[in-house]
Amino acid sequence: LSDERTKTRWAHPARLSDVYSRHDGRSRRVARLRFFTEDGFPEVYLLLRQYTDDQERERVQIRVPKRPNGRTGWVPRDALGPYNVNRFRLAVSRKTLRATLYKRGKRVWTARVGVGAPGTRTPAGRFWVREKFRFKDTPVYGTHAIGTSAYAPTLSDWPNGGVVGIHGTDQPDLIPGRPSHGCIRVPNRAIRRLARLMSVGTPVWIR
């Protein structure tokens, strides 16, 4: 269903359902679908593969936004709503302190960024965009913030469980650098354009 590079399918849940470790539906339960994110937006599940058994029952392998990061599982196809397609991918390098957005494999945006400090590192892995915010009176986050499926490895008591965001800043002089509690800081001018280009369901690869 997705290569997570040039074509990524995602869906909102259509009903609550358990998420299982294998596609047979009789394996270990690893999670449960939920309708909303921690901030009250419709939850987004990234779709990996689809399987049809000998009784024509369809199951879908999804990425699950839950600790520990990187968890996947299988749900019935009818537990998910219509499929949506995303053609973007955001790559973030913690080494070079640069984020780059690709559309159909071609670069369309890039910026220097700030990432987590040594004691509160930004997690590495394959994540995706779950929600988007716009601010008027919250200088610490600039004008926009983008919520991802990543969770900070060391701050589970952080607001909303330690969700890693991509957002603007009121301290642009700290970019590029490693000043944050795990979130990815982007200059305000750059985050405005990124927020316009990037929609929910966009894969976010952090290395």
Cβ burial, residue 104 (10 Å; 0-12/13-18/19+) = exposed
Q: pLDDT averaged over the chain?
A: 94
Cα 132 to its chain centre, rounded Å, is 11
Model pTM score: 0.93
Closest alpha carbon to 89 in 71, 109, 116: 109
Measured CA to CA, the distance from residue 116 to residue 125 in angstroms comes to 14
Q: Are 90 and 186 in contact (CB under 8 A)?
A: no
3-state secondary structure at position 191: helix
Q: Are 101 and 95 in contact (CB under 8 A)?
A: no
Per DSSP (E only), the strands in 82-143 are: 84-86, 88-93, 98-103, 106-112, 114-116, 125-134
Per-residue pLDDT reduced to its tens digit, 56-111: 999 999 999 998 999 999 999 999 999 999 999 999 999 999 999 999 999 999 99
Measured CA to CA, the distance from residue 18 to residue 20 in angstroms comes to 6
The fraction of the chain above a pLDDT of 70, given in percent, is: 97
Measured CA to CA, the distance from residue 78 to residue 147 in angstroms comes to 26
Per-residue pLDDT reduced to its tens digit, 21-42: 999 878 999 999 999 999 999 9
pLDDT for 38: 92
How does DSSP assign 44-83, residue by residue? -EEEEEEEE-TT--EEEEEE--SSSTT-EEEEEGGGB---
pLDDT for 45: 98
* pLDDT classification of 135: cutoffs 50, 70, 90: confident
Report, as an integer, the average pLDDT of 165-180: 94
Q: Are 174 and 168 in contact (CB under 8 A)?
A: no
